[in-house]
C-alpha cells in the first residue's frame, strides 16, 4: 500500500501466496511464512504475510532505534566510573593495611590521615583513630625507654659510690669503719630504689586490685606525722597537722599510707631549717557531693617551690627539678610523688601541685569520703 520494499524475511511471500502450503485450505493463512492474497474491487492485488519474529543480536539490550555504537559508549563510560569509584573506596583501605603492617614492624611514626587528604567519611575517622593509636604507642614506648635510662642512671650512682668506698677501705685500713658505714648507706639506698621501682611497676600494671577497708585519714596522717617528725627534727624543721574528725575513706590502707608518706617526706626533704611542713585535712560539705562528700588533704612546705612549667611533671617517674629544689644532694630519686600519684588515681582521687602564696609547694590530694550510713560492701563498690 505504501509502495515500500518488502523486508528480506518476506521476500518469498509472493511465491508462498501463489503456492499454498501443503495441507492448508484455500484462503487460509499458513502459521509461519505463509501469505494471503487479497484482490481489491479495482483489480489491485495485496498480499498479507505472516513472517517469524527475527531474534535480536543482544536480546533485550538491543533497544529499538538505539545504535550499537551508542550502547558501547555507555558501557565504556559506566565501566570507567565504576573503576574510579572502586579505586576511591579501595585506596584508603590499602593505605590502612600498609600502615598496620608498618606499625607491626615497629615504625610508630607512620601516619595515615595526611595521605587521605582530610577525608571526613568513616574511612577518614578510622584513619584518625589509627594515627591517635600510633601516637599513643610512640609516647608509651618513649616513656618506657626513658624509664629504663633513668633506672640505669639511678642504679649506677650508688654502685659507683659503693665501689669507691670499697677502694678507699682497702687503701685506708684505719678508716674501715667509716667506709663500711658508707657502704651500708649506699646498699640501703639501692634496696629502697629497687623496692620503689617495683612498687611503681605494680601500680601501673593493668588490673591492679586494691584491698578494700575503712581507713581513717586523720589517724593515718597523725601516725605518719609522728614518724616523719623525727626526720624533720634532724633537719631543723617541724611538722604541723590540723585534721577534722571523721575523715573515713574506703581503700587500701598500705597504699594510702604510701601515698601520704611520700608526699609528706618530700615536703620535709625540701623544707629549710626552722621551716614548717603544714598538713591539713578537711571534709567538704555534703552538698558538694551528696554521695558522701570529699576529703581534701593539703601538704605544704616552705621551700623554694617549683617552676610553673614543671608542676605537671613532678609526678612523672624519676623527674626532679634540680634547679629549683637545690643541688645539695638531699633530693630523692624522683619516685615518691610518682607512686603517690598512681596510688591516689587507683582510689578514684586526684592529686595536684601548686606554688603556695608566700613561697613553698602545696600538694593537694582529694579522695571520696565514706558515708557512715553505707555498709562496707557498698563503700567498696562505690570506690571501685
Q: Do residues 109 and 138 make contact, with C-beta atoms less than 8 angstroms apart? A: yes
At 283, give phi and psi (nearest 5°).
-105, 130
Catalytic residue among 47, 53, 153, 372: 153
Strand-strand pairing, 276-283 and 238-243 = parallel
Q: Which of 190, 198, 188, 195 is nearest to 155 (CA)?
A: 190
The verdict on whether 153 is a catalytic residue reads: yes
C-alpha pair distances (Å), 50 with each of 24, 37, 329, 360: 14, 12, 117, 113
DSSP secondary structure string for all residues of 130-172: HHHHHHHHHHHHHHHHHHHHHHHHHHHHHHHHHHHHHHHHHH-
Residue 226 CB-density burial (10 A; 0-12 exposed, 13-18 middle, 19+ buried): exposed
What is the C-alpha separation between 363 and 354, in angstroms, rounded? Answer: 7
Instruction: Give the residue numbers marked as catalytic.
Output: 153
Amino acid at each position: 500500500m505504501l509502495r515500500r520494499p518488502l523486508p528480506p524475511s518476506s521476500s518469498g511471500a509472493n511465491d508462498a501466496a501463489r503456492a499454498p502450503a501443503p495441507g492448508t485450505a484455500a484462503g487460509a493463512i499458513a502459521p509461519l511464512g505463509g501469505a494471503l492474497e487479497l484482490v481489491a474491487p479495482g483489480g489491485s492485488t495485496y498480499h498479507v504475510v505472516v513472517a517469524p519474529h527475527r531474534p535480536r543480536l543482544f536480546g533485550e539490550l538491543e533497544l529499538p532505534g538505539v545504535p550499537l555504537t551508542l550502547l558501547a559508549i555507555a558501557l565504556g563510560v559506566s565501566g570507567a566510573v565504576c573503576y574510579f569509584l572502586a579505586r576511591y573506596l579501595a585506596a584508603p583501605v590499602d593505605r590502612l593495611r600498609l600502615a598496620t603492617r608498618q606499625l607491626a614492624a615497629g615504625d610508630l611514626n607512620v601516619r595515615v590521615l595526611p595521605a587521605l587528604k582530610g577525608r571526613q567519611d568513616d574511612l577518614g575517622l578510622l584513619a584518625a583513630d589509627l594515627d591517635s593509636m600510633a601516637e599513643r604507642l610512640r609516647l608509651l614506648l618513649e616513656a618506657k625507654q626513658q624509664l629504663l635510662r633513668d633506672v640505669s642512671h639511678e642504679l649506677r650512682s650508688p654502685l659507683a659510690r659503693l665501689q669507691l668506698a670499697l677502694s678507699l677501705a682497702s687503701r685506708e685500713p684505719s678508716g674501715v669503719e667509716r667506709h663500711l658505714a658508707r657502704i651500708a648507706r649506699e646498699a640501703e639506698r639501692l634496696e629502697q630504689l629497687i623496692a620503689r621501682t617495683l612498687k611503681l611497676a605494680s601500680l601501673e600494671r593493668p588490673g591492679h586490685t586494691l584491698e578494700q577497708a575503712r581507713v581513717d585519714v586523720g589517724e593515718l596522717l597523725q601516725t605518719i606525722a609522728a614518724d616523719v617528725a623525727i626526720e624533720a627534727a634532724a633537719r631543723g624543721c617541724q611538722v604541723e597537722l590540723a585534721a577534722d574528725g571523721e575523715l573515713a575513706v574506703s581503700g587500701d590502707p598500705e597504699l594510702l599510707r604510701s601515698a601520704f608518706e611520700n608526699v609528706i617526706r618530700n615536703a620535709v626533704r625540701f623544707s629549710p631549717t626552722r621551716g614548717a611542713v603544714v598538713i591539713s585535712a578537711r571534709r567538704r560539705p555534703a552538698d558538694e557531693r551528696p554521695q558522701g562528700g570529699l576529703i581534701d588533704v593539703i601538704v605544704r612546705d616552705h621551700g623554694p617551690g617549683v617552676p610553673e612549667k614543671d608542676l605537671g611533671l613532678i609526678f612523672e617517674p624519676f623527674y626532679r627539678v634540680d634547679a629549683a629544689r637545690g643541688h645539695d644532694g638531699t633530693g630523692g630519686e624522683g619516685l615518691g610523688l610518682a607512686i603517690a600519684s598512681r596510688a591516689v588515681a587507683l582510689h578514684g582521687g586526684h592529686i595536684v601541685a601548686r606554688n603556695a602564696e608566700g613561697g613553698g609547694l602545696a600538694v593537694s590530694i582529694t579522695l571520696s569520703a565514706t558515708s557512715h550510713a553505707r555498709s562496707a560492701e557498698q563503700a567498696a563498690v562505690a570506690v571501685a
